[in-house]
A and B are shown apart, each in its own frame.
Chain A
Amino acid sequence: MVKKILVPVRGRGADDDALKLACTVAQKSKAEVYVLYIIEVARDLPLDAHVDEEVGKAEEVLTHAEDIAADIGYDIDTDLIQSRDIGSAIVDEVVQRNVDLVVMGIGYRNPLGKFDLGDIIPYVLKEAPCQVLVYRGYKPSE
């Protein structure tokens, strides 16, 4: 039974679909959905530094997520975390909140002609102690 779902977002297009998917899954068991934005703080700043620019962007992304959820009609909770590493922050949240499922979205990126999962998704797939769902949207037409 999925009781809690975590959806990490970073302001890319795939986030919306991932969130919608999470809400769809959540509906069945009335699970709680948390949307998380993680600010990766550069090493030349202390971890609790106020990075206003980033925080502003995070607020936009999270507010947008709230709008999407409101359109579907599902209640979500949002959170903002600062960390040195995004992957480990996701895993930590999973454990802290006792999350059952992580839903992450990935766009069909093709910058160098190769499909690339990046660093965060493999890390979460490897380390997260719960179920993980990676959503990849449609391939862009040629």
Chain B
Amino acid sequence: MQADWQPKPGDKFVHRPRTKAHPLIRALGVSGLFGAGYGNVGSSIYYALGLVALVALGATPICLLIAGVFFVFTALSYAEGTAMLPGAGGSASFARHGFNDLAGSIAGWALAFSYIVTIAISAYAVPSYLGYFWAPLKDSAILGTSAAIAIVFFLMLLNIVGIKESSILNVAFAILDVCTQVIIIVLAVVFLLQPQLLWHRVIDYWPSWSSLVFGIAMASIAYTGVETISQLSEETKRPAVNAPRALLLMMVVVLVLFAGISVAGFSAMTPSELAMEWARDPVAGIAQQLSVILIGEGMAQGLLLALCKFLPVLVAILAATILVVATNAGLMGISRLTFSLGRFQLIPLALSRVHHKFKTPYRAIIIFAVMAMALISSGYFAPDTFIILGGLYAFGSLFSFALSHASILRLRVTQPELPRPFKLRGNIKLRGYYLPITAILGLIATVAVWLVVVVVQFDTVWIGFGWMAIGMLVYYLFRRHKKLPLVGRVQEIKASVD
């Protein structure tokens, strides 16, 4: 019947891909991308510094430096990947193209895990900063944990109802944050920096080797957030150009600020002070110390005096706000992620089903928010929740980073002719293929650090493995049900939202 129907020679048609009925569509520029990405990365310094100090004491700046180098490798690989394959799938998309759907699904689940922990750890750090205004929030584990859970719950509701994420707000926060950090760094460098003292503090508090390496692992959580920019590349006009630019800009800003902040930290107080008192709100500690020293020793006059008095308040408010924004960003990132994973048929589309009235992926939001709250609740009975959360975060993100490096390398082998608007230089030739050194080193580094995390946090890492196992089971059942192959790439669903 239809087999012998021929289209008429002069009839031509053009299919237009539909823009998604995604509530968070907006056209971002480089600044918007940077703002969103920085919101994720920039927020982590507010807890990462303390976390690293807790583990590595004097070696904190070294750990941050080394982790910073690895971060550069990761950002570069992401830049090549995102410019080559823009889309909301991020490393899941790279893995899917580099290997197959199974790898994509694994990457996706690992990503989802790091998002959950982002939500948990960002929320967990908020009460400590707010403790400036009301001490029990910081001192009482019960109060602090409950406050964090409440924050996640509230944001969950907000996201279900659907909020318009403001790119302007993101950029504004990013600028405010960078300025504040710069002020702190400048003040510390100008007034407190004494190279001798700094050196002593590093040497005197040098940790054991295992703590050092674990410190590097913890430091790596300071730099997560590359994924965000990659995810948002779909929402920018020229992803191949804007995403690498935003990534590189972020890389530079973050490295400079983190270096500066750690120097400031060690100038203002000893590593043990940082680790004991200010682990969960290190920047508040720095601001506090700065203020105390400068005012106490009469170095501050007039405007500077006012600034010093205001600084701790500013930091408390700013940090709390940024961390709440980061928690929210985590929730939003999860919904985007589930959309794209669903489109690639890596997870059941049912997870990204949208509420008929609010038009938000309420199922994904609820599931992941509840998991985050469950993780935070360990604060009620476990004394080192913070380190546990840090370890889990590293587990998930290092895993996806490693997979991304591997995918970039693999794509150089399997699809060398794919257009790469941002192609990494510094390649070595191996068996006729050009492989970027940064990706190779990045792969080795992330795998090595990941292994360290698994070994050191052996008792809690089962949560991470358990999550991955659930993910694989879901994948297996879902693909079987839809009669899709387990390995091998499946057509993307260009369907609209359910």
The reply to whether A and B meet directly (CB within 8 Å) is yes
- A residues in contact (CB < 8 Å) with B: 39, 47-48, 55, 59, 62-63, 66-67, 70-71, 75-85, 88-89, 92, 94-95, 98, 129-130
Q: How far is the CA of A79 from the CA of B18 in the complex (A)?
A: 7
- B residues in contact (CB < 8 Å) with A: 1-2, 5, 7-8, 11-19, 21, 356, 495-498
Residue of B nearest to A130 (CB): B2
Are A62 and B12 closer than 8 Å at their CB atoms?
A: no
Are A80 and B12 closer than 8 Å at their CB atoms?
A: no
Q: How far is the CA of A78 from the CA of B497 in the complex (A)?
A: 10
Question: Cβ of A78: which chain B residues have Cβ within 8 Å of it?
Answer: 18, 495-496
| New A-B contacts (17) at CB < 8 Å, excluding given A70-B498, A92-B13, A94-B2 | A59-B19, A66-B496, A77-B496, A78-B18, A78-B496, A80-B16, A80-B17, A81-B13, A81-B14, A81-B16, A82-B15, A83-B13, A84-B12, A85-B11, A88-B7, A88-B8, A129-B5
Residue of B nearest to A59 (CB): B19
Which of B11, B16, B498 touches A82 (beta carbons < 8 Å)?
Answer: B16
**How many contacts A-B (CB < 8 Å)?**
63
Are B7 and A77 closer than 8 Å at their CB atoms?
A: no
Residue of B nearest to A39 (CB): B16
Are B21 and A66 closer than 8 Å at their CB atoms?
A: yes
Are B16 and A95 closer than 8 Å at their CB atoms?
A: no
Are A62 and B496 closer than 8 Å at their CB atoms?
A: yes
CB distance from B343 to the nearest CB of A (A): 13
CB distance from A34 to the nearest CB of B (A): 10
Q: How far is the CA of A80 from the CA of B495 in the complex (A)?
A: 11
Question: Cβ of B2: which chain A residues have Cβ within 8 Å of it?
Answer: 94-95, 98, 129-130
Q: How far is the CA of A79 from the CA of B15 in the complex (A)?
A: 8
Q: How far is the CA of A129 from the CA of B2 in the complex (A)?
A: 6
Which of A47, A63, A82, A92 touches B21 (beta carbons < 8 Å)?
Answer: A63
CB distance from B21 to the nearest CB of A (A): 6
Residue of B nearest to A63 (CB): B21
Question: Cβ of B21: which chain A residues have Cβ within 8 Å of it?
Answer: 63, 66
Question: Cβ of B497: which chain A residues have Cβ within 8 Å of it?
Answer: 66
Residue of B nearest to A83 (CB): B13
CB distance from A72 to the nearest CB of B (A): 10
Question: Cβ of B8: which chain A residues have Cβ within 8 Å of it?
Answer: 88
CB distance from A45 to the nearest CB of B (A): 11
Q: How far is the CA of A78 from the CA of B17 in the complex (A)?
A: 10
Residue of B nearest to A54 (CB): B16
Residue of A nearest to B493 (CB): A77
Interface of A is mostly: mixed
Are B7 and A48 closer than 8 Å at their CB atoms?
A: no
Once A70-B356, A78-B496, A85-B11 are accepted as A-B contacts, the answer to whether A95 and B18 lie under 8 Å apart by CB is no
Listed from nearest, the 8 A-B pairs whose CB atoms lie closest are A82-B14, A80-B16, A70-B356, A48-B14, A129-B2, A88-B11, A83-B13, A78-B496
Question: Cβ of A59: which chain B residues have Cβ within 8 Å of it?
Answer: 18-19
Once A62-B18, A70-B356, A78-B496 are accepted as A-B contacts, the answer to whether A95 and B11 lie under 8 Å apart by CB is no
Residue of B nearest to A75 (CB): B498
Q: How far is the CA of A130 from the CA of B5 in the complex (A)?
A: 11
Residue of B nearest to A78 (CB): B496
Residue of A nearest to B6 (CB): A95
Question: Cβ of B13: which chain A residues have Cβ within 8 Å of it?
Answer: 47, 81-83, 89, 92
CB distance from B25 to the nearest CB of A (A): 11
Q: How far is the CA of A89 from the CA of B356 in the complex (A)?
A: 31
Residue of A nearest to B349 (CB): A75
CB distance from B135 to the nearest CB of A (A): 50
Question: Cβ of B495: which chain A residues have Cβ within 8 Å of it?
Answer: 77-78
CB distance from A42 to the nearest CB of B (A): 14
Are B18 and A80 closer than 8 Å at their CB atoms?
A: yes
Q: How far is the CA of A77 from the CA of B493 in the complex (A)?
A: 10
Q: How far is the CA of A62 from the CA of B5 in the complex (A)?
A: 28
Please name 11 pairs of A and B residues whose Cβ atoms are closer than 8 Å in the assembled complex, sorted by A.
A47-B13, A62-B496, A71-B356, A81-B16, A83-B11, A83-B12, A83-B13, A88-B7, A98-B2, A129-B2, A129-B5
Question: Cβ of B11: which chain A residues have Cβ within 8 Å of it?
Answer: 83-85, 88, 92
Q: How far is the CA of A39 from the CA of B13 in the complex (A)?
A: 10
CB distance from B137 to the nearest CB of A (A): 43
Are B14 and A83 closer than 8 Å at their CB atoms?
A: yes
Question: Cβ of B496: which chain A residues have Cβ within 8 Å of it?
Answer: 62, 66, 76-78
CB distance from A30 to the nearest CB of B (A): 14
CB distance from B126 to the nearest CB of A (A): 36
Question: Cβ of A67: which chain B residues have Cβ within 8 Å of it?
Answer: 356
Residue of B nearest to A56 (CB): B19
CB distance from B390 to the nearest CB of A (A): 41
Are B14 and A95 closer than 8 Å at their CB atoms?
A: no
Question: Cβ of A81: which chain B residues have Cβ within 8 Å of it?
Answer: 13-16
Are A129 and B1 closer than 8 Å at their CB atoms?
A: yes
Question: Cβ of B16: which chain A residues have Cβ within 8 Å of it?
Answer: 39, 55, 80-82
Question: Cβ of A77: which chain B residues have Cβ within 8 Å of it?
Answer: 495-496
CB distance from A20 to the nearest CB of B (A): 16
Question: Cβ of A70: which chain B residues have Cβ within 8 Å of it?
Answer: 356, 498
Q: How far is the CA of A76 from the CA of B496 in the complex (A)?
A: 8
Residue of A nearest to B357 (CB): A70
Q: How far is the CA of A89 from the CA of B12 in the complex (A)?
A: 8
Q: How far is the CA of A76 from the CA of B2 in the complex (A)?
A: 23
Are A92 and B15 closer than 8 Å at their CB atoms?
A: no
Q: How far is the CA of A100 from the CA of B356 in the complex (A)?
A: 29
Q: How far is the CA of A29 from the CA of B1 in the complex (A)?
A: 21
Residue of B nearest to A48 (CB): B14
CB distance from B493 to the nearest CB of A (A): 9
